[in-house]
Amino acid sequence: MHDDTSEPKWGKRSRELMAIAQNGLTYAEDYFDRERPKDMLLEAYSAA
């Protein structure tokens, strides 16, 4: 079991943002659908 009290809030938010972005890339149908999740991943990795 993961202890949420030991992780800073920004770490949790960063992981959540990465998961949302990964889902967006998985289900993207064209170039424009992939651009926003890519930006989200870059933002999440820079915060991590």
Alpha-helical runs (H) found in 1-48:
9-27, 31-47
CA–CA gap between residue 19 and residue 25 (Å, rounded): 10
The stretch 11-38 carries a mean pLDDT of 88
pTM: 0.65
pLDDT at 32 over 70: yes
Sign of the Cα torsion 10, 11, 16, 17 reads positive
Q: What is the mean pLDDT of the chain?
A: 82
CA-to-CA dists, residue 13 to 7, 31, 43, 45, angstroms: 10, 26, 11, 11
CA–CA gap between residue 39 and residue 24 (Å, rounded): 11
**Band (4; pLDDT cuts 50, 70, 90):** low
* pLDDT tens per residue across span 9-22: 888 888 888 898 88
